[in-house]
Amino acid sequence: MNKPENNPLVENYDLPQFSKIAAEHIKPAVDYTLSEARKKLSQVENSEEISWQSLIEPLSEIGQMVDKVWSPVSHLNSVRNSQDLRVAYQENLGDIVQFSLEMSQSSKIFKALEKLSRSDMCSSFDGAQKRILENFISSAKLSGVGLEGENKEEFNRLAKDLSELETSFSNNVLDATKEFQLLIDNKSYVDSMPQSFLALASQTYEQKYQGKEKKSSTPEDGPWLVTLDAPSFIPFMESCPERQLREKVYKAYITRASSGSFNNEENICKILQYRKRQAELLGYKNYAHVSLARKMAPSVESVYQLETDLLEPSFQAAKKEFSDLNSFAKSQGFKNTHLSQWDTSYWAKKQKEHLFDYTEDQLKPYFSLSNVLKGLFDLSKDIFGIKIVEDDTRIDKWHEDVRFFKIFDEQNQHIASFYLDPFSRPENKRGGAWMGECIVRQKRSDATVDKPVAYLVCNFTPPLGSTPSLLTFRDVETLFHEFGHGLQHMLTKVDYPEASGINGVEWDAVELPSQFMENWCYHEKTFFGFAKHYETQETLDKKTYQKLGDSRKYLAGSSMLRQIQFGLIDMELHDQFDPTGSVSVFEKQLEVVKRTSVLNPLEEDRFICGFSHIFAGGYAAGYYSYKWAEVLSADAFSLFEEVGLENKDELKKIGHLFKDTVLSLGGGEHPMTVFERFRGRPPKVDALLKSYGLSV
């Protein structure tokens, strides 16, 4: 097959040419690349030599070939989604999955891998090489290399179907989120709502009806358009005084993608059924056990034990928090007996303002994106010794808002780069925030090193008119969180792509660097480095900073309880639930919520129809990872607290140790070994409970 001409996906490039990639480029590029990859795969299979150079290196090269084409396509499907791109993505996804299965299920390669693992040569491998070899063998087993005949055919058919179902799930969430809109043209309905929200709702209306025969909107007089996109949904639920409107929007959110043409119910049932069947074909009890086979947690039972240990203290704390919130609401004129789900955010915001004497809208002018980035970069220089410089000259982007940065080490050597896509675009960008891999670090045979490049993607409120992007403090934490993921990808010192950055890291340890970085938002020097008014550059007063720190534990029990609820829903659906049984997924969801919520659950709640983490995002039977890794991250940060958060020299010393272990070693060593090298001992849960204000 000839190489396609004028196709940006197969041209030699340092960075993807996003603006040139069109839907019609995808199939020719995929077909050509898979054809070339199969030739190389055949050469590996037919080689009689058994060595790292003849086996692992060419397999790695094949994987990189395919990733170079498919990775930018997958990325664009998330950040520049369109109907033609979506169709092309889905049409080629099956071929990508099929080739992945061919590689993983090659009996010749599997036998060669096992032979290499038993050879004398293996004893000379470094720790990362041994881990990579073990992971190749483990992945092959979990991909069905041991299956034959009808079982193998069924497994592969299920794998292809699952990839399509998960993509369909994600598309339905995106489309259902876009579909809902609430038009408000009565000024009394938005009375007392913050100006920042009104400006966004007005701008959303203008963008929606631009060029159409509709009256124009202003923040002061409307009309205003409310959507289910996070920058709109969250402040609306927190500040809309009209209870009936809050109920309408809340119920629309928890029933997203649960009816009509974007209904995910069938997708969920099939995904659970197919995962369970695949697990059975592999000889496992269910998918939860498959998931745990490659994680840090030793067993499904250990996950339940962690959730149980945290459930009781968080539930008791949440009960008191809700009782106090209910009493506060009544003291402020709330007439009903109990708060409902659509009331809690509204009254919690008011109670928080009452207790701590500040509002989010008062704080946002002090958290401009540009100032927060500067504070984050200054912190990174102080504790990790890296310099971050914006440099987007000649950088091709997928949107004009995207920015590009380079990272330099203490010798001023360029070591990594990252894209930042900060703003919400509900028309074609999926919600949430994430770090993705653009280029993975690896050392080539000629001793040159591919420098890692990351995608950092968020959904912050964009600039409104002449006002720059202003963040909530939760947005600030999100930015620090995703940057933590990026640091692990970009500061790795591992030269093998299968173990550099987050690759090869057990999934339940991946959140350690990200959650660790969130703690620095409250670090006094860091905070005052970015908390400057966007117009005057006046620094936020220290009294408000102290109140912000005090408010960190506000509703902490409820926050932890919610995460435990998500983790248990995920684990029980993949461990205890029978997708072909008489109990529906919604009944199972309801049963878990009853055990893990202080509010009576709503019968119509269909939250899981939008639970992309576990049905389209790689966290299946793994959502518990957030809490598992939070134990590690809290304990890791406590070492900085022990040496003194104002002790610059000690912070730098411990920061470099964190960089040289957690951020550098990637998947080259087991995460428990890495943690103990940093902390000097196994992790303890005490620091996590203390950070939530719960009893140790």
Quote the pLDDT of residue 208: 86
pLDDT in tens, 82-125: 999 999 999 999 999 999 999 999 999 999 999 999 999 999 99
Residue 562 tokens read as 């919610």
The average pLDDT across 421-436 equals 94
How much of the chain exceeds pLDDT 70, in percent?
99
Residue 392 in this model has a pLDDT that exceeds 80:
no
CA 555, CA 533: separation in Å to the nearest integer? 28
- Beta-ladder partners of 183: 225
Pairing, β 414-423 against β 403-408: antiparallel
Quote the pLDDT of residue 60: 95
Quote the pLDDT of residue 211: 64
CA 567, CA 546: separation in Å to the nearest integer? 32
Residues whose CB is less than 8 angstroms from the CB of residue 496 and which lie 6 or more positions away in sequence, other chains included: 60, 128, 129, 132, 442, 443, 668
Q: What is the CATH number of domain 18-146?
A: 1.20.1050.40
* Closest CA relative to residue 632, chosen from 583, 675, 602, 589: 675
Quote the pLDDT of residue 654: 98
Residue 97 tokens read as 């999955």
Residue 73 in this model has a pLDDT that exceeds 70:
yes
Q: Where are the alpha helices (DSSP H) in 240-335?
A: 243-254, 265-281, 287-292, 300-331
444: confidence class by pLDDT, cuts 50, 70, 90: confident
186 phi/psi in degrees, rounded to 5: -105, 115
- Among residues 321, 482, 506, 572, the one annotated as catalytic is 482
Residue 210 in this model has a pLDDT that exceeds 80:
no
446: confidence class by pLDDT, cuts 50, 70, 90: confident
Q: Kindly report the CA angle at 94 between 91 and 99, in degrees rounded to 5? A: 135
Give one word for 650, left, alpha or beta, with left for phi > 0 and alpha for psi -120 to 50.
Answer: alpha
Scan for tokens 């055990």, then name that residue.
595
pTM for this model (two decimals): 0.93
Contact 133, 113 (CB under 8 A): yes
pLDDT in tens, 366-384: 999 999 999 999 999 999 9
Contact 76, 395 (CB under 8 A): no
The average pLDDT across 380-406 equals 95
429: confidence class by pLDDT, cuts 50, 70, 90: very high
Quote the pLDDT of residue 213: 63
445-453 long-range Cβ contacts below 8 angstroms, 24+ apart: 445/57, 449/495, 451/414, 451/415, 451/416, 451/417, 452/416, 452/417, 452/489, 452/490, 452/492, 452/500, 452/501, 453/15, 453/416, 453/417, 453/418, 453/419, 453/490
CA 677, CA 655: separation in Å to the nearest integer? 13
Residue 696 in this model has a pLDDT that exceeds 70:
no
Residue 218 in this model has a pLDDT that exceeds 80:
yes
CA end-to-end distance (rounded Å), the chain: 64
Instruction: Please give the mean pLDDT across all residues of the chain.
Output: 95
CB atoms within 10 A of CB 668: 26
Q: Quickly count helices (H) and strands (E) in the chain.
A: 26, 9
Pairing, β 387-390 against β 403-408: antiparallel
Residue 590 in this model has a pLDDT that exceeds 80:
yes
How much of the chain exceeds pLDDT 90, in percent?
93
Give catalytic status of residue 49 as yes or no.
Answer: no
Tell me which amino acid residue 112 is. Answer: A
Q: E strands along 315-462, which residues? A: 387-390, 403-408, 414-423, 434-439, 442-443, 449-450, 453-460
The average pLDDT across 164-183 equals 96
- Beta-ladder partners of 312: none
The average pLDDT across 133-160 equals 97
Q: Between these two residues, 385 and 216, which has the higher pLDDT value?
A: 385
Domain ranges of the chain: 18-146, 180-255, 295-360+556-623
